[in-house]
Structures are given as C-alpha cells and as structure tokens.
Structure 1
C-alpha cells in the first residue's frame, strides 16, 4: 500500500490515481484532481513562507494525504477503508451522483474525519492551538477552489449555469453543507482527539466515522426536490468520465496560471 513521505510524493501518487481513473473511466479521479490542486497550493505556500511553520505544514499535509491514500488503496484491494471513505468510493461506481456530489463526498470524509485526526497526530494538548492559523489556511485553500469547480461543472453541463444563477452558491444548491461549518467541526474534533489516550483513539475514530458517514448519506440523498434536480443534471452531463476528468485538469491548470500571475 503506497504511503507518501514528502509532499512531492503526495502529488505523484495523486497523478497516478488520476491517470488510472481515466483508463478505468472511474469517478474516483474527480476528487483526486481537486485534492491535487489543494496539495500543489499548499506546497507553494510552504515554499513562499505563507504558513507560520512550513516544516510542520508539510508533515501535516503528508499525514493528512496518507489517510486518503490508505483508504483509496484499501478500496482498490477490496479491503475495508473507513466507513465514510468506503461510502464515497461506492458512490463513485453508481450512475446517478453528479460531479458535485462526488467532490463533496470526498471533501466530507477528508475534512470532517481525516483532517482532525492528522492535526492531532502532529500536536499535543499544549501546542495544538499554535496550529490553528495554518489549519485555517488549508481549509481556505479548499474553499477557494469552489469557484473553479463551478466553472468545470458548467462546462460539463452548460444549463447548470442557469440553476446556479437562480439558486446561489454551488454548495447551498445541494445540501446544507458548509465548508465553514466543516472547518469548525474538524478543529473541534482535532482538539478533542488530541486529548484522548492512545488506547481510546481507535474507538473514538469509529464513532466519528459513523457520524461523518451520515453526512455522506445526506450528500448522496439530499431530499426529493434537490435529488430530482440532480437527476436531471446527471442525464445531461456531457462527456465520458475520462473527459470530465480532463476538463477538470484543464481548469486546474488555468487556476494555477491565475495564481502564478
């Protein structure tokens, strides 16, 4: 099972997942693209001195990413990953979820479960507060990508632009899933988790995992009206899964050019 030792290896493994997803026509590549962009921007932030502690941030990034990589490779090997990741991966094999739902399922598992655990693993009860500013920056990077994702989705299904214009932000279109609330919940969990004795952490993780899986079920089935809208969107999504992945990669490259400029 592949595990990264550096942030460059994280990016390398994400590239491999994306390319494999193109070949397999697998929706698993959609979140991997979004996550790759987050990782690249974190790497740039470390190089530019944007974080309070660059060395600590790379350590956090690698531990954080390895939780996703472990879950991904467990699923590929037909082993059982954490419940919320298992649910997200299973949905990737189904027809009805739209691109947005695939992305939110990945964000839900990674932020609401993995980020709190990773943050606690590099901290102690005494110094975890020192991580808060950099913790918030990671979440801000992810939140800032929503606009780029929206553009990708509009390219895949142009009529989505009309729905977004009428309903507002893309995240409020699907469910009451707020990145701000996810960030607050993840930080609260990190502070709780860091104080738990090692021999109790596995049980705590299982309890948290079940709670986050319930959120995942809401993402997958957000109610009759929104589900009906999503089904309509899904029927008119353009292109194969591989083409959707390529569309997102093109948008990622454009986003990176904007950042460089």
Structure 2
C-alpha cells in the first residue's frame, strides 16, 4: 500500500450515473498528473459506464431506472477501493493486486485486466447481492446479462485503441490460439457469469456464511490476478517483454491516444 497521505483525499459523493462519470474523470485526471497506471483501468471503466448510460437512455434494459441505481452502486465499489488504497487504508486483496503491480513489469493490457478482474469477478457479485436485499435476485438477471452485450461492443473498440500505444500486442492473439494462460484468455462473459453465480450464492447463503464466501472469492481472484501479472512458463513472459518494450510508457500519452476515435 502507498504511504498514508498527510491530507487524505475523500471519495466523492455521487447519486446518479453522471456523478459516477465525474468521479471517474477525477481519478483519470489525477492519475495522469501523477503518471500513474491507475488511469488505464479507470479510463476503460469510464467507457463502460458511458456505454451503460447510453443503453439506459436508449431503453435497452427491462428496468432502466433500476439499472442506473445498480450501476451507481456497482461503480461505488471501485471508486471506494481506489480512494481507500490511495489513503493507505486496507482494501480487498484482489484490489491490492490490481493497484500495486510492479510498475516496470506490466503491459497496458495487464493493468486493465487486473482492474477488470477485481471489479467484475469480485465487486460485481457483491454489488448485485447487496442490491437484491429482498432476495429476488433473479429479477435482475436479464438486465445483468444484457450488460455482457454492451461490453462486447466495447471490447473490440478498446482492443483496437490499445494497439495504437502497444503495437506488438497482436502477438497475444497469435499466441492465444494454442495457449490457455490468463493474460490471453481472460473472458468478459466468463467473468460476468462467475459474478452472477457469486451473487446468487451470496443471496441464498445464511448471513453467517456470507463473509466466508466473500473471502473465498477474494482469495481465488487474487490468485488469478497473480497469474495475470506473472504468467508462468518460459516463452510467454519473453513475448510479454517484447510487447512491453514497444509500448508507450507515458500514461498521459496512452490515454490521449486511446481516447481518439480515429488513429
């Protein structure tokens, strides 16, 4: 964890999705100023949140008002973890892994996947279970799964934009044909499927068991994060080193380039 700040910055308050977008902008701007890789996941998550907002405005969900409330609750998990970590407070271990990988030893894609792992595989199930306090979690399932489609629409866009600042990242696609390592085959659909199963387990479990279930998922997803950060074997780490060598290193330049609609 970082050293305790002399003047800790408080997590911003927000009540709707526009407040969430503003809070994410704050994280991105601060991270760019500090040349912190925290900006990378924050940017991708901002795009995801904007995509959900667009889906709400287009009426794509069964209950659009409910989806906005749920998205705000879900986003709050990440934003709270960010400020807690920044202020030297304890965070779930999976977020510890996402926020503190070796700064000179990760790809742009790895930083993003570490954030996605923590927020989807861990936060999302908890947020969904908490949002369904009456136990009717199945009422949320259709809208929960529709977000998969919105994310799939976003994934290709983000991958294409990452290639502008990581020109050798295509090597991962080439290797992925014959490799099952986490860095290559991290799946949004599988992650959200796992998150849904986690949410159902939490909802159905007795109160006395919930903490153990959450701790177990934290441990499991922390192990996955370690594989993403440090994949085993000989050949794959060498390829990651080649990709990393050719990547843009300045965080502000990375964000600027992937923000552009056209190359």
Do both share a fold (TM > 0.5)?
A: yes
Match of 1:23 in 2: 33
Match of 2:117 in 1: 108
2:142 aligned to 126, 129, 133, which one?
133
Q: How many residues align?
A: 250
Match of 2:174 in 1: 166
In structure 2, distance between residues paired with 1:132 and 1:197? 21
Residue 126 of structure 1, CA deviation: 4.7
Q: Scaled by the length of structure 2, what TM-score is found?
A: 0.87
Residue 73 of structure 1, CA deviation: 0.2
Q: What is the Cα-based RMSD across aligned positions, in Å?
A: 2.2
Residue 199 of structure 1, CA deviation: 4.7
Q: Scaled by the length of structure 1, what TM-score is found?
A: 0.88
2:202 aligned to 175, 193, 210, which one?
193
Alignment check: 8 A CA contact 1:30 1:248 kept: no
Match of 1:258 in 2: none
Residue 212 of structure 1, CA deviation: 0.8
Match of 1:33 in 2: 43
Which structure dedicates a bigger proportion of its chain to helix? 1
- 1:92-134, CA deviations, whole angstroms, 9 ceiling, x for partnerless residues? x511100110111111111111111111111157521121111
> Mapping of 1:1-261 within 5 angstroms?
1-2=10-11, 3-91=13-101, 94-124=103-133, 126-161=135-170, 163=171, 166-167=174-175, 174-224=183-233, 225-251=235-261
- 1:3-52, CA deviations, whole angstroms, 9 ceiling, x for partnerless residues? 42211111000000111111000000000111001111111111221100
Change in CA separation of 1:55 and 1:130 when aligned onto 2, cut-off 3 Å:
same
Consecutive unaligned residues in structure 2, runs of 5 or more: 1-9
Change in CA separation of 1:175 and 1:142 when aligned onto 2, cut-off 3 Å:
same
In structure 2, distance between residues paired with 1:206 and 1:223? 25
